Structure 1
Amino acid sequence: MMKRKQGILSYALIILGAIMASFSVALILLPNDAIDYGTAGVAIIISKLTGFQLSLCVLFVFLPFAVAGFLFLGKKFTIKAALGSVIYMLGLEIFENIPFELNTEHFLAVAFGGAILGAGLALILRNGGCIDGSEILANIVVKRLSDKTGRNYSLTPILLIFNALVYITCFVVIDSTAALLSLLVYVVATAVIDHYTDHFEAIKQVTIITQDPDGIIRDIKEKLNKTCTIMDSRGAIAGENNTLICYISFFELPLMKDIISTHSGSFSTVSTIDEILR
């Protein structure tokens, strides 16, 4: 029952986060000549150049990434990503028709809008969702590289390259002011996201204390295609046990939590790893 309540709460928070993100984009950022980043930024550029409805542009740009996410990242992740994206698109459709004007300087409005956008995206990410195709793309690339080489990779380089291309395109086809204001959105939003998700794009180290190491290792291998480092340890009360260390991405954390929860007597800690030296 507790797990079911937590599942319902996670979906509710994804919906709230998507509403916050669409509110920020439609009513604060776009009226102040700034755009969102990632695939949403691509959709906004297409909408501005073609005059097509923004929500439809978001749908058409995101859809291929959602399909790829279903094929490579699994059903559960895709369901949450699809839910967040649908609410985001509906929010854009609704908020665009609401007369609202933030009477302040562009710089302040964009900083405020970026903070709201970042808070909404942080809610989505912390609950296993995603509304941006660039994050799905980065996950797929990192997963494929990890499966092929056996090494762990950060999402950061892929996301930076993708967003750099978005802002360069904005600079060329729209204007320099829009590009610079949009870059400010990215800086503010990612600062808020990093604060509440502890650098979601970085590698995560999961340290698991357990008396059932074989079962957890088997599940991690089958469900995440990852391996673990095993250390003997001893608890003051529990006695002999094992400490497992595993490196995963932020988007693999929900599945790791499910694995650990099925093995009674196990608990874990999660920390952010900036770099792994070899």
Structure 2
Amino acid sequence: MKKINYKYIFSLLMIIVGAFMAAFSVACILLPNDAIDYGTAGIAIIVSKLTGLHLSVSVFLIFLPFLILGGITMGKNFLVKAIAGSAAYMIGLEIFEAIPFQLNVEHFLAVAFGGAILGGGLSIILRLGGCIDGSEILANVIVNKLAQKKGFNMSMTGILIGFNACVYAAAFILINRNSALLSLLVYIIATAVIDHFTDRFEAIKQVTIITKNSDRIVEWIRKDMKKTCTVMDSSGAVSGNNKTIICYVTYFELQKFREYLKELGDNTFITVSTIDEIMLSH
């Protein structure tokens, strides 16, 4: 009989909580104060405002292609978590749009508060390996393709900034300048909160693995992750001779690393650090 994975179930429940926090922020604070979300949710809000399409339907239609892309490129576990988060987000929008809620403060303070709640909700989702924003999935895919074709790793920061610049430019042109500027404040506050709790999820992550089972791990990195890595001899004062493996991944790929290394079940020591830049000399 297969054991119930209570930790996995708890992670799904917390992703749902994070999605409801994000939905509350958007429906009850940001939209009533003339601000919008960022990423694909921001696109969905613009489409909803221009066409009259129901917001949750618009979110679903915009996010669906990115959800499929994420499932193909990042695996079943990511897909399940992304579906749970996006479904909870859409249900939350339906619920909170129907609840009368008024925050009697200045627009600036309301938007700052809403951005902090949004960032908190998204931090929970990202830390547990989920996602409700297609721009992050797209950025991850682009970074991986560049790594495979060009042989170098880059952060998702530039891609995400470019994507959201287009979203806010569209808001500036199609809605109004106040909405675009308030939405930019949402982005700054939300990403500051996310970066604090996820150690800058858009940056490159260096995974250092000290193990006696290096061949199996290297094979998995090459075949399943389609990544390269560096392998060095090392020695521990207690463990004796080992191999040290160094690999560079994105934040979403890091979740796959964690899941795989848990399945190994041997004495493997792993550290993760954030890398600002990787330079190549020729």
1:262 equivalent to 2:266? Answer: no
* DSSP 3-state at the match of 1:262: helix
Residue type at the aligned position of 1:69? G
1:276 equivalent to 2:269? Answer: no
Partner of 2:175: 174
Partner of 2:17: 16
Q: With structure 2 as the length reference, what TM-score do the two structures score?
A: 0.96
Partner of 2:69: 68
* CA RMSD, 1 decimal: 1.3
The whole-number CA distance in structure 2 between the counterparts of 1:23 and 1:228 is 42
The whole-number CA distance in structure 1 between the counterparts of 2:16 and 2:263 is 27
The whole-number CA distance in structure 1 between the counterparts of 2:138 and 2:25 is 24
The whole-number CA distance in structure 1 between the counterparts of 2:106 and 2:3 is 47
The whole-number CA distance in structure 1 between the counterparts of 2:51 and 2:158 is 30
The whole-number CA distance in structure 1 between the counterparts of 2:28 and 2:276 is 36
1:64-91 deviations in Å (ceiling 9; x for gaps)? 1112222222222122111111100000
- Give the conservation status (yes or no) of the 8 Å contact 2:39–2:164: yes
1:5 equivalent to 2:9? Answer: no
CA gap 1:245/1:2 in 2 versus in 1, 3 angstroms: farther
Q: With structure 1 as the length reference, what TM-score do the two structures score?
A: 0.97
- Give the conservation status (yes or no) of the 8 Å contact 2:74–2:253: no
Residue type at the aligned position of 2:148? D
* DSSP 3-state at the match of 1:247: strand
Matches within 5 A, 1:40-189: 40-189=41-190
Gaps of 5+ in 2: none
The whole-number CA distance in structure 2 between the counterparts of 1:233 and 1:75 is 35
1:251 equivalent to 2:266? Answer: no
The whole-number CA distance in structure 1 between the counterparts of 2:86 and 2:279 is 37
* Number of residue pairs matched by the alignment: 278
How far has the Cα of 1:2 moved from its partner? 9.1
The whole-number CA distance in structure 1 between the counterparts of 2:204 and 2:108 is 33
Q: Could you tell me the percent identity over the aligned residues? A: 60
Partner of 1:235: 236
- Give the conservation status (yes or no) of the 8 Å contact 1:260–1:267: no
How far has the Cα of 1:228 moved from its partner? 1.5
